[in-house]
Amino acid sequence: MDYNIELKEQGLQPVLSIRKTTSIGNLPQEIGKAYGGIMQYLQELGEQPAEAPYTAYYNLDMEHLDVEMGFPVSKQLAGKVEIKAGSIPAGKYVECMYKGPYAEMVPVYEAMSKWIAEKGLEATGISYEIYYNSPDEVPESELLTKILMPVK
């Protein structure tokens, strides 16, 4: 399948997020809990997310996934308890918009990794998924996810 893979420059993006280690089986519940808690905190602050929610993957160990779940915000905000203020770093990112079920994303990651290697770039090992809708809103075949991989 052909994917529209592009190299883009991205500025620093302030975020509010929760970072956890979890298994792939528990990931949907952890994501839901994290997004719900952050949205509640944003409402307390009288703020709105600046962009769709994301999950950052720091490893691919399916039993001990190191993930950060959060929302981009328009300015740096204070964290609260497990909700941390942070940022998605500025830099070069390889990105691809994917439409379809989460369970069928492996070929997209493989195509992106191949593209990165062919261009002589090096992935940092982190990947971001930005979710523009959810399985609660649309059929799995209509899910829209932007995958970002920082490169050097």
Q: How far is CA 19 from CA 1, 85, 96, 116, in A?
A: 33, 11, 24, 27
CA distance linking residue 95 with residue 12, whole number of Å = 16
What is the domain range of residue 104? Answer: 5-151
Q: State the CATH number of the domain containing residue 57.
A: 3.20.80.10
Confidence (pLDDT) at 5:
98
Helices (H) and strands (E) in the chain, counts: 2, 8
pLDDT tens over the chain, length 152 residues: 789 999 999 999 999 999 999 999 999 999 999 999 999 999 999 999 999 999 999 998 989 999 999 999 999 999 999 999 999 999 999 999 999 999 999 999 999 999 999 999 999 999 999 999 998 899 999 999 999 999 99
What global pTM score does this model have?
Answer: 0.94
Domain count, the chain: 1
Confidence (pLDDT) at 99:
97
